[in-house]
Chain A
Amino acid sequence: MRIKDAMGLIKVPDGIMTDIEKGIYRAVKDERRPQFKVIAAAAAALVLIGGAAFIFSDISFNKAPVTYTNDDGYVFLGIDVENKNAVVGMKNESGGLGNMTELSDYRIEDAGGTEVMTFMFQYSWLDEADGSVHVVDLPTSGTLYADGGGKTHYELETDFENIAEGIEVQFSLKSNYVGSVEDGTAIDADDGDISLSFDDGGGREALRIALSDKKPFSDIVSIRPSCFRVFDEAGKPLGAYAEGDTAGETTVDGGGWKLVSKEGNIYIDGSGGKGTLYICAFRAALGDGSEVEIHGDWLVEFGE
């Protein structure tokens, strides 16, 4: 059989035209934006967790963050709700803040449950006129919900009203990705990069949080979970030894599954039973030999 013929037999799913139309719609929309200019690494969102500031460079819902320019020439690296992208930052091209009304009025509802994770955002931008970096506190929070039925939901809420006088933007996003981390999923935290991956149960990554070592925190040498606990299906903590520094090696035997932390990574390996991994801190080693700790609540359900 010819390769071309075999390829022609692959069944195209219903709804592919909708995907195509979305792609065309995005292209048309972008073309209508004046002065489109891609700003890459310079724009980043600062994240404050427990007082330590780092750059979250990539918070994505299966899509790369988008960059676009509004009618006033202001460039944003950020949320594209229609395509399930999340805001990671913005850059002001012309000095001063632009009108962010394009981000207003988005609200996608989903059923919630128990809150399992929150984090705060702070936005920064570079004023190219004098090279100064401006930082604006944003009461932004992201929340992961486990709905008790084995599904995990993600919600991002941002209140932009403090960005600049006269600008009031409310933003709320919830995705309906479902599922939990699959067995064997690793939470990698090395080389200056935190990555938490949540699977939607169908093998599709539902949420990824990456902490990059880009400026002004380029001196992060390594980063690893420094505090974690494991709970069984009923919520009972399993072993005090599961809490601690992961520089060494720790193994938690949950019966049907095993959790191993080794050299900064946490691996969940097993075929039976459910559990929950709770990470309360990551520790980052900086180039000057010092260490800082990022506190927060990261909670991952795993198991069948």
Chain B
Amino acid sequence: MDKTLAERAISGDRAAFAELFESVSQELYSVAFIYLRNEEDARDAVQETAYRCCRGIKKLRSAEYFRSWAVRTAINSSLDILRKRRKTVPLDDISLSDGASSPEEVAEAKELLGLIMDRLNEREKKTVLLRHLCGLSLEEIAKAEKMPLSTVKSTLYRAVEKLKKGDLS
């Protein structure tokens, strides 16, 4: 992520914000899709994330936190949409870019994403995404999510075990 661009965005440069947001749009859409599992809702979540981030970026303390902050905002936007849903909706298939990937890699990615979507609860998803997508340390996750460090560790452990074993319990 371009730190200078983020600093300009924090200082109120709208064009810089748009460029910055676009640079993380892949991650944000993917996060939204993981939670919402259909394109329309995921796009709504991205739009809501853009809205919230644009409104709140001036309060961001440091440019280096933009990416993880935007991902957390996308998670929260997705969860808000999920809570507003009154019923289960049919799900879209995961659509993957296969241009630069082998069929084996695409299949492996689909399987992994399916496990994340199907088998992790909301807290586990969030912890996994913050750790493995945003690269936050366990301490950073604990601070950001206001959870005891031990809870972060156990949540992450449980999530990884589920992904390994396909444990549905």
Chain A interface residues toward B at CB < 8 A:
1-13, 15-17, 19-24, 26-28, 30-31, 60, 62-64, 182, 185-186, 188, 195, 197, 199, 202-205, 208, 210
Contact A197 B101 (CB under 8 A): no
Separation of A195 and B128 alpha carbons in the complex (Å): 34
Contact bitstring B56-87, A, C-beta under 8 A = 1, else 0: 00000000000000000000000010001111
* Closest B residue to A1 using CB positions: B108
B26, B29, B87, B108: most-surrounded residue (chain A CB, <10 A): B87
- What A residues does B87 contact at CB under 8 A? 185-186, 197, 205
Contact A16 B17 (CB under 8 A): no
Contact A23 B47 (CB under 8 A): yes
* Closest B residue to A84 using CB positions: B44
- What A residues does B94 contact at CB under 8 A? 10
Contact bitstring B29-58, A, C-beta under 8 A = 1, else 0: 111011000111101101111111111000
Chain B residue total in the interface (Cβ 8 A): 55
Contact B43 A19 (CB under 8 A): yes
- What B residues does A185 contact at CB under 8 A? 87
Separation of A30 and B54 alpha carbons in the complex (Å): 11
Indicate if B147 sits at the interface (CB-CB under 8 A): no
Contact A4 B133 (CB under 8 A): yes
Number of interchain pairs (Cβ within 8 Å): 137
Separation of A68 and B109 alpha carbons in the complex (Å): 43
Separation of A16 and B27 alpha carbons in the complex (Å): 12
> Top 6 nearest A-B pairs by Cβ distance?
A23-B50, A203-B90, A27-B54, A6-B109, A23-B51, A203-B89
Contact B86 A208 (CB under 8 A): yes
Separation of A176 and B60 alpha carbons in the complex (Å): 38
- What B residues does A13 contact at CB under 8 A? 29, 39, 43, 95
* Closest B residue to A208 using CB positions: B86
Separation of A185 and B90 alpha carbons in the complex (Å): 11
B44, B53, B85, B101: most-surrounded residue (chain A CB, <10 A): B44
Selected A-B contacts with CB under 8 Å, 17 pairs: A4-B132, A7-B27, A7-B31, A9-B98, A9-B109, A20-B46, A23-B49, A24-B18, A26-B51, A62-B40, A62-B44, A182-B90, A195-B86, A199-B89, A203-B38, A203-B89, A205-B86
Separation of A78 and B85 alpha carbons in the complex (Å): 19
Contact A7 B50 (CB under 8 A): no
Separation of A202 and B33 alpha carbons in the complex (Å): 15
Selected from B47, B89, B133, the residue in CB contact (under 8 A) with A3 is B133
- What A residues does B52 contact at CB under 8 A? 23, 27
Supposing A19-B47, A21-B18, A203-B89 touch, asked if A5 and B84 sit within 8 A by C-beta, the answer is no
- What B residues does A188 contact at CB under 8 A? 86
Selected from A12, A19, A197, the residue in CB contact (under 8 A) with B26 is A12
A12, A15, A24: most-surrounded residue (chain B CB, <10 A): A12
Selected from B22, B39, B40, B84, the residue in CB contact (under 8 A) with A17 is B22
Supposing A199-B89, A203-B89, A203-B90 touch, asked if A20 and B21 sit within 8 A by C-beta, the answer is yes
Separation of A188 and B116 alpha carbons in the complex (Å): 30
Separation of A16 and B33 alpha carbons in the complex (Å): 13
Separation of A24 and B90 alpha carbons in the complex (Å): 29
Contact B43 A23 (CB under 8 A): no
Separation of A28 and B44 alpha carbons in the complex (Å): 18
State the Cβ distance, B125 to closest chain A Cβ, in Å. 11
Contact A204 B89 (CB under 8 A): yes
Contact bitstring B7-37, A, C-beta under 8 A = 1, else 0: 0000000100110011001110111011000
Contact B25 A20 (CB under 8 A): yes
State the Cβ distance, B117 to closest chain A Cβ, in Å. 11
- What A residues does B55 contact at CB under 8 A? 27, 30-31
Contact A19 B95 (CB under 8 A): no
A9, A27, A182: most-surrounded residue (chain B CB, <10 A): A9
State the Cβ distance, A270 to closest chain B Cβ, in Å. 16
Indicate if B136 sits at the interface (CB-CB under 8 A): no
